[in-house]
Each structure stands twice: as structure tokens, then as C-alpha cells.
Amino acid sequence: MRVGVVGASGYAGSEVVRLCGSHPDLEVVLATGESSAGVALGAHVPALAARYPDLVLAPTESVLEAELDVVFCALPHGKSQGIVAGLVERGVVVVDLGADFRLKDPDQYAAWYGEAHRAPEMLARAVYGLVERHRDELAGARLVAAPGCYPTATALALGPFVDAGVVERAGIVVDALSGVSGAGRATSERLHFARLAANAEAYGLGRHRHTPEMEAELGVELLFTPHLVPVARGLLVTAYARLVEPVSASAALALLEARYAHDPCVVVSEAPPTLKDPVGSNLCFVSVAVDERTGWLVALASIDNLIKGAAGQAIQAWNVASGRPETLGLPLTGVTP
């Protein structure tokens, strides 16, 4: 398959290119990077130089003319809307790693992203790309909206308990830690080494744009607070929900194990996962604890924010959409130490 990666100069986009290099059915023939157009990909991302010695970053609009079978869009929010409809109408399968097609309601998009959606007619055609929860819907999909990193970990941690009616659907609290690559490649004062090193910072309090995505996917009301921590990769979610009725820790763990028994990218463990466990892989580590004294369930999940939280998940969703084994070309072992 001839692949175009739009936004290949960013962290998520370059990760798509890297993973495609190990996929037997995906050949990257076009990589775009608006601010780096004309620069060799290997010069911009030296880690890719040996695998892609001749690939040069092209302007974004070149994707509209290229002969491609699948396009992975890794652009900031608002940027995919202008190109996706044209690609889909040409018969190209599109997997959008950005936020533009995750929310079905254009008014909700406008409320959280501060601008009107410019391709609302495409929202109903997009399939949410969280394979573990939408595997059947993804079969044959032509437009896939890859989930955000925080919603991925949150939905995989809490989803089984919400679906089973074990926890209340309101009053849920989600805390999360993320490495700085989740903020993208662009620099900002918040990402300066002197501020970031040996530090931790909450941000987006009460207004983080992943909140409506989580609520829509789970059918709940929740309060979400993300925290930036001084690591390059990794994401750890701790979610708190009130139990509807008493449930033992062993029963909660058994529910989690049963739900993910046939999901190759989810690892259920009795011990709580660490931030580093999945780094380098397309795995999500999940666990659960029950505090019988207070009646709270604590669900945890850990992912590599650039792989299972972005590029790997996008390829996993495309694998399913195209009828391939969902783990094809994806790393299922992390990097340790």
C-alpha cells in the first residue's frame, strides 16, 4: 500500500513513518512537513535516516495530488478538515490522528476547540479508532478518527466497569501524567528545560479538550486533570469512580481480565502499572483496585503516548479496517530499562 503521512515532521507523524518502516504492507512514499518542506526527512529526524535515505519532506498540499492508498494525518486540530473530504472522495483511506473527527457534534467541537468545524458532513462517516471498543465498526472503514492519548488510556481503564454498570456514571475523577512529547514538537515556555526538569505541572484544568471525547466514548460525566512530567514518553492514568454496590478487588480484576482476554494489545496486571512499562510498545497496561472503606474503584492504565496513544493505534485501526491482523507491524514489547 502506498502511504502518505501528513505532518511527518512532528512527533506523532514521524512515529507513523517509523512504524510503517516495519510494516510489511505499508510503504511511505510521501511525507509532508509544512515548515520543513524541502528538507530530507533523515536530516529532520536522524533516527529515520537509514530506513528512509531518499525521502524529502513535501508541502502539505502535495498529498492532494499524489497517488496514494492510505493517508495518515498527524496535524494540529483544525488542519485536517480542509483535506480529508477530498482524499476520501478520491477513494483514499484516511486515518486522522488529530482531533478533527473524534466528536460527532460540530457544536461540541466549536465549544471545546473555539472554532466552527469546516467539514461537518464528514463527522458521521468517521469511525472512532479505539480498536478494543470499536473493532466491528472499524471493518471496512474509509475514515478513521484515531483517539487522543488520554482518552485511550482512560477508556481502556474505566470502560469495562462503566459498561458493566459497576460504577456510577457521574462524579468520576481522572488524573493523568504525560511525557512532554504529548505536547508536540513546537517549543513553548512551559517546555523549556529549566522549567520542566525536576518539576510537575497540572494544566488544562476543567477545560482540557480531551474531556468531551472521554465523556462521549464512555457515556459519563467526569472531571479530568492532566499533568506534565519531565519524561519524553509515557502516560499514566488513575481514574476514580464510585461503586454502585460493593465489589471485591478480586472480582473487579476478574472483570478486567475477562473483558480483555482476546485483546492482544492490552495487558491486565494485578500490580498497578508504571509510566515506563509500555514505553516503546503498542501495549496498554491496565489494573484496578477497590477501596472498600470509601466505596471507590480505582482504575489505572499506562501507555506510550506516541505509540498506543497515537501512531501505533492509528496503524492498529488501519489494520482492522483493511482486514489485516490488528498487531501486524506493531511492537508488542517495550523498551527496558
Same domain, 109 and 160: no
Residue 136 lies inside a defined structural domain of this protein: no
d(CA 298, CA 288): 6
Residue in 283, 242, 278 with CA at minimum distance from that of residue 260 = 283
**278 plus 185 within the same structural domain:** yes
Q: Read off the pLDDT band of 64 (50, 70, 90).
A: very high
pTM here is 0.97
Q: Above 80 in pLDDT, residue 106?
A: yes
Same domain, yes or no, for 121 and 161? Answer: no
110 plus 233 within the same structural domain: no
Residue 20 CB-density burial (10 A; 0-12 exposed, 13-18 middle, 19+ buried): buried
Quote the pLDDT of residue 35.
87
User: According to the model, what pLDDT value does residue 231 have?
Assistant: 96
Q: Compute the mean pLDDT over every residue in the chain, rounded to the nearest whole number.
A: 97
Active site residue 20: no
- Same domain for 181 and 282, yes or no, is yes
- Gap between the Cα atoms of 147 and 253, Å rounded: 25
Q: Which of 73, 149, 265, 284 is catalytic?
A: 149
Same-domain pairing of 207 and 283: yes
pLDDT score for 46:
97
- Which residue in the block uniquely carries the three cell numbers 530530507? 40
Side chain identity at residue 134, one-letter code: H
Return the exposure string of 285-301: e unless at least 16 CB atoms fall within 10 Å of the residue's CB, then b. Answer: bbbbebeeeeebbbbbb
The verdict on residue 313 lying in a domain is no
What's the pLDDT band for 34 if we cut at 50, 70, 90? confident
If one counts every other C-beta atom within 10 angstroms of the C-beta of residue 333, the result is: 10
Asked whether residue 74 falls in the same domain as residue 167, the answer is no
**pLDDT confidence band for 94 (50 / 70 / 90):** very high
285 strand-pairing partners: 267, 302
Query: Do 6 and 69 belong to one domain?
Result: yes
- At 136, which helix (H) or strand (E)? helix 131-138
DSSP bridge pairs for 226: 176
CATH code (residue 82): 3.40.50.720
Q: How confident is the model at residue 47 (pLDDT cuts 50, 70, 90)?
A: very high
Asked if residue 293 belongs to a domain, the reply is yes
Mean pLDDT, range 6-11, rounded to an integer: 97
**Residue 131 included in any domain:** no
Looking up cell 462521549 gives 216
**271 and 195 within one domain:** yes
CATH number at residue 222: 3.30.360.10
Closest CA to 10 of 79, 75, 60, 106: 75
Residue 334 lies in a domain: no
Question: In terms of Cα–Cα distance, which of 233, 227, 218, 229 is closest to 299?
Answer: 218
3-state SS track over 45-84: CHHHCCCCCCCECECHHHHHCCCCCEEEECCCCCCCHHHH
Whether residue 285 sits in one domain with residue 240:
yes
Q: Identify whether 32 is part of a domain.
A: yes
Dihedral pair phi/psi, residue 173, rounded to 5°: -120, 130
Same domain, 87 and 27: yes
- Are 161 and 93 found together in one domain? no
What's the pLDDT tens digit per position in 296-320? 999 999 999 999 999 999 999 999 9
DSSP-based three-state secondary structure for 145: strand
Number of domains making up the chain: 2
Share above pLDDT 70 across residues of the chain, in percent, rounded to a whole number: 100
Residue 192's pLDDT is 87
Range of 158's domain? 149-305
Position 298 in a domain:
yes
Give a yes or no: residue 214 inside a domain.
Answer: yes
